Amino acid sequence: MQIFITGGTGLIGQRLIARLAPEHHITVLSRSESKARAALPAEVAVLDNLDSIANFDDYDVIINLAGEPIADKRWTSQQKHQICQSRWQLTTALVTKINASSTPPHTFISGSAIGYYGRQGDKQVTENNTQPHQEFTHEVCQRWEQIAETVKQHCRICLLRTGVVLAAEGGALEKMRLPFKLGLGGPIGRGEQYMSWIHLDDMVAGICFLMTNDQCSGPFNLTAPQPVTNKAFVSAFASALNRPAVMPMPGFALKVIMGEAADMLLTGQRVIPQKLLEAGFKFKFDSVDKAFAATES
């Protein structure tokens, strides 16, 4: 297949391309052609400007993974604008070219996040049973998904409501690893908020599953079937590192450091991948202990 990917140099994108490149023709859109060529297999084609193609007649699948990291910086007005526009503008450009195609791709897989649901306490969250809480993360994801869904008349669409991605290198664990190794890790706030996570290998496998299963469409929770509380999460991580987890991060201190963005870490969601499970997807890492055993081995 001919596959067009945005966000190909990111954590998920690089692993996905490594899996797909041996069997498919991959084209990546990247703001830095030199960075992409250094990070990706030699046979991958790289574009640095979407304007260089008029439509997607030559492609079978579009996978949209690009977006400004949502938790890397304090949420100033400028940063919120960047978070939104990095998702909305590119997705708008992609759907415009899909809709302009005389032979459009058969599948459009577009990023989203479990932030779509907003804070949900300890109730189980699925794609079909949850009323979102109105807050910034929901607003970002709702508009992101609405833009992507404008291609529904032309091709099948799957939306990736992604949780915290666990990997041996990069992602959330990269920032956690050093303080935990130094014995400075611990729960965030009271530690009772749920964390919905997914191992990178299952994330990539889930995207491939959705890409090749024509009966799948709409939003999918890309999270492991066993979300855990923050306290259980950090305890399992510390155990995998053979370190204690006794230095909690008080909620007020996190808010001083991160501002409004701290709410993502202090509230949480207990997200279940109901539609993936019902479609027959099998998770390799269904428990956080298995995931950490793999990332920290």
> pLDDT for 165-181, tens place per residue?
999 999 999 989 999 99
pLDDT at position 206 is 98
Nearest residue to 65 (alpha-carbon basis) of 114, 28, 118, 22:
28
CB of 57 closer than 8 Å to CB of 34: no
- Cα distance between residue 64 and residue 151, in whole Å: 13
Q: How far apart are alpha carbons 245 and 150 in whole angstroms? A: 46
Domains of the chain by range and CATH? Answer: 2-232+256-295 (3.40.50.720)
The pLDDT assigned to 285 comes to 98
Report mean pLDDT in 10-residue bins for the chain, 297 residues.
96 97 96 90 94 94 94 90 95 96 97 96 94 96 97 96 95 92 92 97 98 97 98 96 91 84 91 98 97 94
Of 203, 135, 194, 195, nearest in space to 167 by CA: 203
Contacts of 290 (CB under 8 A, 6+ apart): 199, 284
Return the residue matching tokens 């779509």: 116
Average pLDDT, the chain: 95
Three-state DSSP at 18 gives helix
pLDDT in tens, 25-48: 999 999 888 899 999 999 999 999
pLDDT of residue 217: 98
Strands 2-6 and 25-29: parallel
As given in the structure block, the two tokens for residue 13 are: 């994108």
The values of phi and psi at residue 36, to 5°, are -65, -45
- pLDDT value, residue 246: 87
- The sign of the CA dihedral 193, 203, 51, 150 is negative
What's the pLDDT tens digit per position in 185-217? Answer: 999 999 999 999 999 999 999 999 999 999 999
- Total-model pTM: 0.96
pLDDT at 133: 95
